[in-house]
Amino acid sequence: MPVLDELLYRNKQWAANRLRQDPDFFSRLSAQQTPDYLWIGCSDSRVPATEIVGLDPGEMFVHRNIGNVVIHTDFNCLSVMQFAIDVLRVKHIIVCGHYGCGAIRAAMSQLSYGFVDNWLRHIKEIIVKYEAELVPLDEDARLRRLCELNVIEQVKNLGKSKAVQRAWDAGHPLQLHGWIYGIADGIIHDLDIHLHNREQIPSIFHMLGKSDA
Ligand code: CO
């Protein structure tokens, strides 16, 4: 059986199993999605967002990219955020990184990986910002810490965005969180960064104008 036929076969099995457990599952989902969460995670195949938090289809809106970064010129991520906040009215945005992230490891090196270097340079900026903390660590500890710092910086980037600040200004109870997942043990750790109002963001990033961007 060709490889892709195998995947389509598994899909039919999955759908049949779902219906056996819950006959209304697909008809209910087809009506609408009402997720409370937006997940921004790494594209890494070992970090399947919905599965590792035990949620079902329909319960979490998901955006994944290399290194789980929030870049203010990335129309894809910005559009996902705006739609999730304004239309789906999610209550929580979770940035979830993971230990052993290949993007972080690549950003720590001086090797060129091609076009993706343009993406990874945003992580290199974080290395420079936290150089004093990172330099004394051995290589393993440095990689682990940078995986954590990258999440923390991306949560702050969310807070600097117009979409998030507009939601806060409108009284929408939107909270931003930073997590990190251990591929070796399957456990998520809360990095204890929780943003829920403008005052937690440096004032230079407060967006006071009327632009929709
Ligand atoms: Co990764």
What pLDDT digit, counting tens, does each position of 108-125 carry?
A: 999 999 999 999 999 999
Is 189 assigned a catalytic role? no
Could you tell me if residue 20 is inside a domain?
no
Is 144 assigned a catalytic role? no
Is 42 assigned a catalytic role? yes
Q: Is the pLDDT of residue 1 over 70?
A: no
| pLDDT, tens digit (0-9, with 9 covering 90-100), for 51-96 | 999 999 999 999 999 999 999 999 999 999 999 999 999 999 999 9
> What is the rounded average pLDDT of the residues 128-146?
97
CATH number at residue 114: 3.40.1050.10
The range of the structural domain enclosing residue 121 comes to: 38-47+56-205
Q: Is the pLDDT of residue 133 over 60?
A: yes
Is 44 assigned a catalytic role? yes
| pLDDT, tens digit (0-9, with 9 covering 90-100), for 146-200 | 999 999 999 999 999 999 999 999 999 999 999 999 999 999 999 999 999 999 9
Supply the pTM of this predicted model.
Answer: 0.94
Could you tell me if residue 91 is inside a domain?
yes
38 Cβ neighbours under 8 A, 6+ residues apart: 60, 61, 62, 63, 80, 81, 84, 85, 88, 90, 92, 93, 94
CA 171 to ligand 1 center in whole angstroms: 34
Instruction: Give the C-alpha separation, 63 to 84, whole Å.
Output: 10
Phi, psi of 100 (to 5 degrees): 70, 25
Could you tell me if residue 22 is inside a domain?
no
Helix (H, G, I), strand (E, B) or coil at 159: helix
Could you tell me if residue 9 is inside a domain?
no
Q: Is the pLDDT of residue 210 over 90?
A: no
Q: Is the pLDDT of residue 213 over 80?
A: no
Catalytic residue among 44, 122, 142, 147: 44
Could you tell me if residue 167 is inside a domain?
yes
Could you tell me if residue 21 is inside a domain?
no
What pLDDT score was predicted for residue 122? 97
Could you tell me if residue 1 is inside a domain?
no
Domain count across the chain: 1
Could you tell me if residue 17 is inside a domain?
no
